[in-house]
Amino acid sequence: MIGMSATTDPETNEVAGVLTTPEQWRDFLESYGESYARVHGDGEELANLDDDQLEVLEQGGRVGLWLEEAPAREEALAAAEERLGVRFPPSLRGFFLASDGWTGLDGWVDAVHPCARVGWMRDSDAGGRVIEVYDSLPDNEDIVELFRRCIEIARGEDFWLLDPTDVGPDGEWAAYEFPPKYGVPEEYPNFSALFHDGYERMKEDEDTD
């Protein structure tokens, strides 16, 4: 397997702001879901809230809103890793053990795949088409090689990608948000930072409303 570097301990990761445990992810995803509901507040995620909860949410309070999915079982996570020949980085493992996928993302990504659907970008229909287009154009060797070695974590109009060959000292993989419309991947130090960036954008939207 690739991507097998030893990880730092949870306290080190927590200081660095990297979410690695299911407990950290559950707390973050609850906050993310509530911000998403406040910014995109006419979706199904609000259907089960009563008037008092909606008022609390509108005032920036916490209501325990959870958008998606049940946690992945450790066996399912191990099967996904075996299928791909990698061991997922700590932040991604912690995420899946908190929620096996996630919908209601800010921006141009529809959903984080459940672990059973995570795969190589080169093997997905949409990813394969993007690689084919970029490979047909001159001077794209580096970005095509990046795409061919990346795992696709989420997709909509844009892609979320992780590079298992670019591993930091804490075991985290370099992460990318790639908008085909603009053609330039934006790099993040890890999956946790990539997810958190969307949360920060939503918080800015809340503050300007």
- Kindly report the number of other CB atoms within 10 A of residue 125's CB atom: 7
Measured CA to CA, the distance from residue 121 to residue 185 in angstroms comes to 14
Q: How far apart are the first and last CA of the chain?
A: 47
Domain ranges of the chain: 10-208
| Topology given in CATH for the domain delimited by 10-208 | SMI1/KNR4-like (3.40.1580)
Confidence tier at 14 by pLDDT (50, 70, 90): very low
Instruction: Work out the angle at residue 168's Cα, subtended by the Cα atoms of residues 156 and 142, and round it to the nearest 5 degrees.
Output: 55
pLDDT at 17 over 90: no
* Tens-place pLDDT, residues 82-123: 999 999 999 999 999 999 999 878 778 989 999 999 999 999
If residue 96 lies in a helix (H) or strand (E), which one and from where to where? helix 90-98
* Tens-place pLDDT, residues 182-200: 889 999 999 999 999 988 8
3-state secondary structure of 89: coil
* Tens-place pLDDT, residues 150-160: 999 999 999 99
Tell me what pLDDT residue 9 has: 39
Which pair of structure tokens corresponds to residue 140?
């794209």
pLDDT, average across residues 44-52: 48
